[in-house]
Structure 1
Amino acid sequence: MKPRKSDTPQRLKIGWASRDISTDQPVDIPGQFHIRVSKGVLDPITATALVIDNGEDLLIFVSADLVCIRAYLVEEVRARVKAQEPRIPVDRIVINATHTHDGAGYFCKAIAGMASPDQVPHEGIEIASSDDYRAFLSGAIADAICEAYANRRPGGIAYGYGFAAVGHSRREVFFDDLSKRPNSAGRPGMMVDGHARMYGPTHDPMFSHYEAGMDPFVNLLYTFNARGKLTGAIVNVPAPSQCSEMRETLSADYWHDVRQTVRAKHGDIFILPQCAAAGDLSPRIQHYYAAQQRRFALKYGADPKGALDLAQRRDIAERIAAAFDEVFGWARREIHTALPIRHEVATINLSRRLITDEEAANEARELRALEAEPFKHDGTPEQQLRHNSILVARRNRCRGVLARAEAQKTQPTCPVELHVVRLGNLAFATNPFELYMDYMHRIQARSPFEQTFIVQLAGGSSDTAGYLATERGVWGGGYSASLYCNQVSPQGGQELVEETLKRLARF
């Protein structure tokens, strides 16, 4: 049987570029229920672009130090790229977020779970225009893509995997149903607890176990120029970058420390971070906090009573850099300079998490109560903004549930943009969700490829993709697995698995 043309190895051309997407303007920092306003730049947030082309097909990956990627941002970037460089197939552009909780806000409208500055009075507090920042951001990303495309030169890739403990289960399960405890009124518009809670108290006598384990895999792809010199790497880790998630300064979080640590040894190479499936994971260690405080105090001289996030970031960076070096030591023995590339883009429809009539009626009652609650007018402007933006976010989340209850009558599924890429015997598969880890393992276990990189929070789909929880997650409830957080059902999650595997098998 004659091989398909796309299966024939072709010489690779590789190009990189990056842009600093930081701003000194007082922009909104999304990632919490309350509005935070940037007070400066702790460390640079960046957008990094990689193009790998074999003359028949190509991949265009962009990683941005942002909390998420909205469809309209992807559309703006693609439009700008098309205008600047018509030869670039813009449907091949994949933009993923590192999920830093200290990235700049660029949203053009309020979304479920967040309050936009135009919905909340903020007299005495300047908040810069998110539209202005988005114009800067989309231009910077488009410029990086066009530059990376122009920078394509003959080169090669190597790949492998190592280990680094970064993400830990952030969902604690209890012997009892938390919603049935005395004085457990819940927080409408935020979460609905059951037997599980995100960041639940592990010192509680009824604490049973973590809902999931952890995934220590670090998937790595290295790029080289024609002389065999290392030029950059994709570093794929199943953990969001949210050690510094409560700060009021822009920051790439632990990825900044990773870049510094890796570059200290390997020179000024490009680092393109990808967050693998980590909807139920985070860098936080819940049950060993006291031991962690002691570790950071002795190892880094950190004040055990102060903020430990910077020590935690440094600790994580050292582990990722160690994995980077360990894998590089053996992966570079096999550098591929000619490989088949196939990049399939599809819109798939996934089953919604349906809202029951009872749930919709309850949310309507809760929304009326929240709308009757007045804004806070005493205290400092900052205290008012915090309180009032949380109130608005809760209202928005209730409205989101009611909107979904109406939409599901005629639209029982959610459209999702899916990218599946073959690069030799290596594969990439994207999704727009904060995807629970189990789905990644289901794909990787059945993938026909040696190594499969799962990339979450890759935009181009619904503006409110949210978390995609598992069956056991929905059973446990809590933040990330409640009706407020899940557009798509566990059934839809398995549909994502099957649709991804179907396309991988065609390669």
Structure 2
Amino acid sequence: MRLFLFSLCIASLAASTSASDLHVGATTVDITPDRPVALDGQMHVRISEKPETHIFATALGLESREGDRVLDQAIMVSCDIVAIREGLIELVREKARDRLPGFDLNKLVLNATHTHTAPVTMKGDRYSLLGKKVMLPMEYTDFLVERIVAAAAQSWEQRKPAKAGWGQGQAVIAQNRRATYADGTAKMYGPTNVPEFRGIEGYEDHNLEVLFFWDLNNTLIATAVNVPCPSQEVEGLKVIHADFWDPVRRQLRERHGKDLHILAWTGAGGDQVPRPMYGKAADERMRRLRGLTRLEEVARRVVRGWEEAYEGAKLEPVTGAVLQHQTKKIDLPWRKVTEKELADAQKAVEQYKDDPKEQWKYLWNQGVVDRYETEKSGKAGVFQMELHALRLGDVAIATNEFELFTDYGVQMKARSPAVQTFLIQLTGSGGYLPTPRAVAGGSYSAIIQSSRVGPEGGQALVDETVKAFNDLWPAPDAKETSK
């Protein structure tokens, strides 16, 4: 029995360290537009009046080597925008081809923080600019692509031997935003102070997962902060704003160095928001006593959780952390349109089609009608998603393209073989991915207009992600563990 336990300890140690060297580079670039832009994230037109804060793209370059031989690599870029819209990653990879010789561009991945006060990057006429003199969406997209490519290239060029660490803190940021009622319905941001209110629909994940990277002189150079909640504290403003990531970055740099690069990773939080659904009076009183705005309060909690994680992680830096990076396309079934959903969408199409101010809602509903027609023709097909699964020492990292409801993230974390698991949503533009309970309750984020992939696809995504993790953590050989 003692020999068995000893062999397991050796196996665990080998997972964290190896003969390989980890090389790390990181860069932060400003992606703030210099002119007014249409703002993304709402169903109506908003034109930015000023930059309340700057917004950034932060790139992290990772490479494991054994001598001169490259074992694996990754470049991960977090962006202060609402989503990685369709076609954006392809534009970045194409532009980066000449800037990243020798790098596998399929292992470059982008994620969005989901701030609702950042420029529109989507094509088409969904957002009408109504004649205002603003930077057009594709003009901003071209600027953004150039800045992301510059960040990726700089992070890659600056990589050098480094140490890695990981830790977990707790921060009550995520608040499930779907209220449920006596009649079985649910509503995003629904009232909770009414007799019909029965509860909050889903789970909230308050774990804060953090990665740390030091150079060989023990200087902290980069950190990745995984918050299972989108940055939507100031979502309705007509300004450019990085939301709670702005005060988080400022406070961490004040404490740990002005050159610290901070990646903002949004975890599974499609049904979450950083604002309370009840207990608001007590929350407001405590903020008044502390002298903090709600944005500052959220930042205080993130920074405090980060410090908790750092206190532990700095005691166990890993010089030769194993890096493995798998990427593959997975097929997820489309959510099928019911007859009632079709009728509701057709009614909305008729209501909005001739109103230029409601093009967002018109196209949102027309998309459902088009999907139904595609299904009836037998050409529905599947939603193909690019999945990235990484192992860094004892840490697992996986991406998805959705606003993924938290219950799916909890499943992935619970079934993961890793000591600690990071989930990064919004690496594409897949829309909301609701749970069966949410679909039954209805309302925005769970209705067919909000969701291209439904619960069947959500479960398939969980299973594919866990399978990818298990491939990175092969079961120990039975003969070895029995010695």
Do both proteins adopt the same fold according to a TM-score greater than 0.5, normalized to the shorter chain? Answer: yes
Q: Does 1:405 align with 2:372?
A: yes
* 1:347 paired residue among 304, 325, 329: 329
Superposition map of 1:278-357 within 5 A:
278-300=269-291, 311-357=293-339
Q: Does 1:165 align with 2:176?
A: no
Matched AA of 1:212? G
Matched AA of 1:249? V
User: What is the rounded CA distance, in whole Å, between the counterparts of 1:8 and 1:222 in structure 2?
Assistant: 18
User: What is the rounded CA distance, in whole Å, between the counterparts of 1:107 and 1:369 in structure 2?
Assistant: 24
Unaligned runs of 5+ in 1: 178-194, 303-310, 376-387
User: What is the rounded CA distance, in whole Å, between the counterparts of 2:426 and 2:454 in structure 1?
Assistant: 17
* 1:50 paired residue among 45, 60, 63: 60
User: What is the rounded CA distance, in whole Å, between the counterparts of 2:306 and 2:335 in structure 1?
Assistant: 39
Other-structure match for 2:384 = 415
User: What is the rounded CA distance, in whole Å, between the counterparts of 1:208 and 1:166 in structure 2?
Assistant: 22
Q: Does 1:19 align with 2:29?
A: yes
Other-structure match for 1:75 = 90
Matched AA of 1:276? G
Other-structure match for 2:478 = none
Q: Does 1:446 align with 2:453?
A: no
Matched AA of 1:496? L
Other-structure match for 1:426 = 395
User: What is the rounded CA distance, in whole Å, between the counterparts of 2:285 and 2:197 in structure 1?
Assistant: 24
Deviations 1:387-428 (A, max 9, x none): x53x22221111110121133331242111110111122110
Other-structure match for 2:475 = none
Deviations 1:420-443 (A, max 9, x none): 111122110000000000111111
Unaligned runs of 5+ in 2: 1-10, 65-69, 473-483
Superposition map of 1:248-259 within 5 A:
248-259=238-249
Matched AA of 2:38? D
* 1:117 paired residue among 123, 128, 132: 128
Deviations 1:36-69 (A, max 9, x none): 1011100110000001111210121100000000
Q: What TM-score do the two structures reach when normalised by structure 2?
A: 0.90
1:7 and 1:341 in contact (8 A); partners too: no
User: What is the rounded CA distance, in whole Å, between the counterparts of 1:254 and 1:5 in structure 2?
Assistant: 35
Deviation at 1:6, TM superposition (A): 13
Q: Does 1:474 align with 2:439?
A: yes
Deviation at 1:369, TM superposition (A): 3.1
Matched AA of 1:434? E
User: What is the rounded CA distance, in whole Å, between the counterparts of 1:244 and 1:412 in structure 2?
Assistant: 38
Q: For residues 315 and 487 of structure 1, do their structure 2 counterparts lie closer, same or farther at Cα, with a shift above 3 Å needed?
A: same
Deviation at 1:87, TM superposition (A): 1.7
Deviation at 1:9, TM superposition (A): 4.5
User: What is the rounded CA distance, in whole Å, between the counterparts of 1:483 and 1:288 in structure 2?
Assistant: 31
Superposition map of 1:139-150 within 5 A:
139-150=146-157
Q: What TM-score do the two structures reach when normalised by structure 1?
A: 0.86
1:28 and 1:38 in contact (8 A); partners too: yes
Runs (4+) of structure 1 moved beyond 3 Å? 3-9
User: What is the rounded CA distance, in whole Å, between the counterparts of 2:109 and 2:200 in structure 1?
Assistant: 33
The aligned length equals: 452
Q: For residues 5 and 102 of structure 1, do their structure 2 counterparts lie closer, same or farther at Cα, with a shift above 3 Å needed?
A: closer
Other-structure match for 1:29 = 39
Provide the identity percentage.
34
Deviation at 1:353, TM superposition (A): 0.9
Q: Secondary structure at the match of 2:98?
A: helix
Matched AA of 2:289? L
1:162 and 1:324 in contact (8 A); partners too: yes
Where relative contact order (Cα < 8 A, 6+ residues apart) is larger, the structure is 1
Deviation at 1:222, TM superposition (A): 0.3
Q: Does 1:483 align with 2:448?
A: yes
Matched AA of 1:75? E
2:96 and 2:153 in contact (8 A); partners too: yes
User: What is the rounded CA distance, in whole Å, between the counterparts of 2:395 and 2:19 in structure 1?
Assistant: 13
Deviations 1:275-332 (A, max 9, x none): 00000110111212222222222321x7xxxxxxxx1111111111111112211211
2:177 and 2:272 in contact (8 A); partners too: yes
Q: Secondary structure at the match of 1:350?
A: strand
Other-structure match for 1:503 = 468
Matched AA of 2:457? G
